[in-house]
Amino acid sequence: MNRHSQSRAFTLVELLVVIGIIALLIGILMPTLARAREAANRAACLSNIRSLGQAFLLYANQYKGATLIGHISDEYQWNYTVNFADSSQTAVTHMGLLIDAKLLQTPKSYFCPSENDPQWLYATSENPWPIATIPSATAHHTRLGYGTRPGFSWGKDGSLPNPMPRLTRLKNRAIIADLLIGPTYVKARHKTGINVGYNDGSAHWVALTNFTNSDWAKIEYDDFGPEHDDSLLNEKVTPATGVWAALDRN
């Protein structure tokens, strides 16, 4: 057999060179793909918030201007719950009334596609969907992936704020956004900012540097409590302060 007609195998050095080139290409492409995926997620998140804003407008039209913003109990960070469930009770609360009113019927519109924590993802063991309707030892609250402007207290039993917030009185106010519980929640999603919805149904991107403050920036993951309320929104002073006030359009 003619030796020139024989197939030539790769040497070990050549194989290592090929592997090295492939690894280099992957290293170059992966960040680009990650950025493209996040850009798509960010756009989808913004679309979700616009959909929620439109549902808020529809709700206000049906219920004498009422809107479903606020927080649970005395914690401004607790502004995302649609159903409170434990061993003794279940109660639809807050944005859960949008679901009851059938104004936004696409479940995934309530959740940010950049979120990875199962507590704020659609239909996980930590975040059941459909919502629990029967009290039990294993019943979990259902949380949405977005939070609303605090300042109006909802009861764990589903009781409404008194007075109920009115959409027409919230001119230029930010009313719904990516989770603002603390900086770690922002950086776990879009990293450099958040999507924000306003009382007129519009929504847009706001960079982290435009709304952070020193007290809010110190809040760590899973650090909840009314002691953080003023860092989120303090309307006892003029002008108002806190991250939600910084999101408002003046």
- Tell me the three-class secondary structure of 73-128, residue by residue: CCECCCCCEEEEECCCCEEECCCHHHHHCCCCCCHHHHCCCCCCCHHHCCCECCEC
Does the pLDDT of residue 248 top 80, yes or no? yes
Residue 73: what residue type? S
Q: 194 pairs with which residues across the strands?
A: 206
The residue ranges of every structural domain in the chain are: 41-247
**Model confidence pLDDT, tens digit, residues 153-194:** 999 899 999 999 999 999 999 999 999 999 999 999 999 999
**Model confidence pLDDT, tens digit, residues 87-123:** 899 999 999 999 999 999 999 999 999 999 999 999 9
Predicted pLDDT of residue 6: 53
Q: Which of 179, 130, 190, 111 is nearest to 150 (CA)?
A: 179
**Model confidence pLDDT, tens digit, residues 194-212:** 999 999 999 999 999 999 9
% of the chain residues with pLDDT over 70: 96
- The span from the CA of 140 to the CA of 84, in Å, is 8
